[in-house]
Structure 1
Amino acid sequence: MNARRNNKIATGVIIGLVSIVVLILLSLIGYILITGLPDVSFKFLFTESKAFAAGGGIVNQLFNSLYLLVLSLLISIPISMGAGIYLAEYAKPNWLTSTIRTSIEVLSSLPSIVIGLFGYLVLVIKFQLDFSILAGSIALMFLNLPILTRSIEDSINSVSPLQRQAGLSLGLSRWETIKGVIIPEALPGILTGIILSAGRIFGEAAALIYTAGQSAPTMSYTNFNPFSETSFLNPMRPAETLAVHIWKVNTDGITPDADIISSASSAVLIIVILIFNFGARYIGNRVYKKLTGDK
């Protein structure tokens, strides 16, 4: 009887603690959405800042955030993929492997403001990239690498050893087994990790203040020449992202409707991040069912 009672008490405590976490999360998200969504409109989403309510309109900031995210993923995914495969399939327990894992842990624990200052000193000043989308994408890469690497490594390690043995028993080389058997089996987890990391860096602000910049220059969405100064595809132009925009309108002291703009922008930012998170689960489950034939 005592054991059953203790089990019920422990279960109740655990459920209570989990409920507190969920309640805090729902309270934060609910407050942001309730205060911000009423001011979100088609005009707010698809006009430029100076064209709406003395500083509203987030079309440029929203596009800049997506553009930075895509460029950062294009840079970080190949590096993370190689590092994850090496750590999961080739690395042996020695000082080199230990050093790599320690470096990944240290990189993941660095504050984003430190990475931003490093990007400012090295990318903006030393390599003279100035405040640009490219500099911001490289800075985001440093934030993204440890998350992606660990996600890819864990996804590969979750594949059953029988899959490796089956590939090798068919006469495939080790690399052919990894490429044709292991990676497809681990693909749902890898895709989930990529999408979750995308949601993480989409809301990043501190690292981008010192690398991508805080200005939103005039650009043309009909100019597809990436070497043109006014092209929306130019990676060398400064770019104010949505997260930086929220910080800026609350600190510059000159935007008359700062509260409205920041609340509405925060609601949009939360919605996009939620889409990333729920999308990761949906895509991961769909890919898994397609690869395994599970219904």
Structure 2
Amino acid sequence: MNGFASTKHTARAQRNNKIATIGFYTLGALVMLLIFWLLFTILSKGLPALRPDFLIKQPEEIDAGGGIGPVLFNSFYILFISLFISVPIGLGAGIYMAEYAPDNKFTGALRICVESLSSVPSIVFGMLGLAIFAEYFDIGLTILGGGVSLALLNLPMLARVTEEAVRAVPGEIREAGYALGMTKFHVIRTVVLPVAMSAIVTGICLVAGRAFGESAVIILTAGLSTSGEMWDFNLFSPGETLAVHLWYVQSEAIVEDARQIADKSAAVLVFVVLFINFVFRFPLWLSNRRK
């Protein structure tokens, strides 16, 4: 009887395993189909009509045929500023929380605060940036305000992702480094970070894509206009980005080809986000292939 019950239990477990496997494969396929459908829908509307001059021409307020040159440049410029500020601080904070911070109530409370800030709506950081730069420092809506506000938006997520990535590194690897006489910092720099780099790069990709497509923060801190120059590196110039321009064209623009401009801008936005992920991940993939 015991052998029969064991056989019956094994058969039921195998059946449940097959059902679960089929279910998870089905869910994965549905998610992939949804993603490809969204990409196809957006890119198919904008890419066929996209021309190189659209990427460098000035936007038009009344006449048809405007481009996205200054707003595209501002998008990359503000993204660079935000990553330049948030990546070193976020990585440092994550490493500190994972490797150096003592395990006490204060550290636990700090970790809860970081997790809470990660889920705060972006409009709140926009209001914070508006209060700091436009009201307290009285410099108005600028590229600098937009870049710093986006950095504040991305810092909690970067710190949390880095902490989890570093904590996920097996302790045996650290102990092997210590056994060779390496210092704690040397172990972190040469052993822990290379192992955790894949997860850290994923976090950077997430915040970079989020920053490039963010609109609420930019509207409140960088404004709805540009200086009118294609390559304006002045940090105190207004900094309308591609995402904000897409929202403006779709909702308030009066040009007759507003719909076409919105479709092409959306295609460029999606393509750039995909390109950012490729740029960050390709060196990592190449390094793994060489190993």
Look up the match of 2:223: 213
Tell me by how many angstroms 1:29 deviates. 1.2
Cα distance in 2 for partners of 1:51, 1:45 equals 16
Aligned-partner SS, 1:50: coil
Moved more, 133-142 or 177-186: 177-186
Task: Provide the alpha-carbon RMSD of the alignment.
Answer: 2.2
Q: 1:185 to 1:209 in 2, by over 3 A?
A: same
Corresponding position: 1:28 with 2:23: no
Tell me by how many angstroms 1:53 deviates. 5.8
Cα distance in 2 for partners of 1:216, 1:164 equals 50
Moved more, 109-118 or 181-190: 181-190
Tell me by how many angstroms 1:55 deviates. 5.8
Cα distance in 2 for partners of 1:240, 1:148 equals 25
**Aligned partner letter, 1:173:** T
| Aligned partners of 1:51 and 1:57 also within 8 Å | no
CA deviations over 1:105-124 (Å, ceiling 9, x no partner): 11111111121122112222
Tell me by how many angstroms 1:83 deviates. 0.6
| Aligned partners of 1:188 and 1:288 also within 8 Å | no
Identity percentage of aligned residues: 43
| Aligned partners of 2:70 and 2:230 also within 8 Å | no
Look up the match of 1:227: none
Cα distance in 1 for partners of 2:196, 2:163 equals 9
Q: 1:285 to 1:150 in 2, by over 3 A?
A: farther
Tell me by how many angstroms 1:51 deviates. 10
Moved more, 75-84 or 17-26: 17-26
Runs of 5+ unmatched residues, structure 1: 222-231
Match of 1:72 among 48, 63, 82: 82
Tell me by how many angstroms 1:208 deviates. 0.6
Look up the match of 1:273: 273
Cα distance in 2 for partners of 1:177, 1:15 equals 39
Number of residue equivalences: 281
Match of 2:138 among 114, 119, 128: 128
Corresponding position: 1:282 with 2:278: no
**Aligned partner letter, 2:68:** I
Q: 1:12 to 1:190 in 2, by over 3 A?
A: closer
Tell me by how many angstroms 1:145 deviates. 0.8
TM-score, normalization by structure 2: 0.88
Look up the match of 2:4: none
Runs of 5+ unmatched residues, structure 2: 1-10
* 1:1-295 correspondence runs (5 A): 1-50=11-60, 54=64, 56-219=66-229, 221=231, 232-290=232-290, 294=291
Q: 1:89 to 1:212 in 2, by over 3 A?
A: same
Tell me by how many angstroms 1:142 deviates. 1.9
**Aligned partner letter, 2:233:** L
Moved more, 67-76 or 100-109: 100-109
| Aligned partners of 1:188 and 1:283 also within 8 Å | no
TM-score, normalization by structure 1: 0.87
Tell me by how many angstroms 1:49 deviates. 1.3
Q: 1:59 to 1:137 in 2, by over 3 A?
A: same
| Aligned partners of 1:192 and 1:284 also within 8 Å | no
Look up the match of 1:228: none
Tell me by how many angstroms 1:52 deviates. 10
